[in-house]
């Protein structure tokens, strides 16, 4: 079940699961623990995007996200930081 603290596009979630094997709901726990973060300023996305690296279900995971006007964390993409 989705936490009210998080949001995402359901179609993007399905694509992410197919491409990276990770559903967005499986990475929300990462935001409760220690993580490294930086702003993703490689492109002008029209919004501030962040890169977070931390543990999700015991795996080092990278998550791209933004915070919307309501303070919700909108997950954009997620993948295992280290494959294997």
Q: CA 37, 38, 44: angle at the middle one, nearest 5?
A: 140
Q: Which pLDDT belongs to residue 83?
A: 67
Domain boundaries, the chain: 6-80
Q: What would the CATH number be for the domain defined by 6-80? A: 3.10.450.530
Tens of pLDDT, residue by residue over 57-83, are 999 999 999 999 989 999 999 999 986
Q: What is the pTM of this model?
A: 0.88
Q: Which pLDDT belongs to residue 1?
A: 46
Residues paired with 51 in a beta bridge:
38, 64
Residues 79/68, Cβ–Cβ less than 8 Å:
no
Three-class secondary structure assignment of 14-83: HHHHHHHCCCHHHCHHHHHCCEEEEEECCCCCCCCEEEEEEEECCEEEEEEEEECCCCCEEEEEEEECCC
């Amino acid at each position: 079940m989705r936490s009210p603290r998080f949001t995402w596009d359901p179609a993007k979630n399905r694509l992410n699961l197919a491409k990276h094997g990770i559903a967005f709901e499986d990475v929300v726990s990462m935001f409760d623990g220690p993580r490294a973060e930086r702003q993703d300023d490689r492109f002008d996305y029209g919004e501030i995007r962040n890169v977070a690296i931390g543990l999700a279900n015991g795996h080092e995971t990278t998550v791209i996200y933004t915070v919307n006007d309501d303070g919700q964390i909108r997950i954009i993409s997620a993948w295992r930081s280290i494959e294997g």
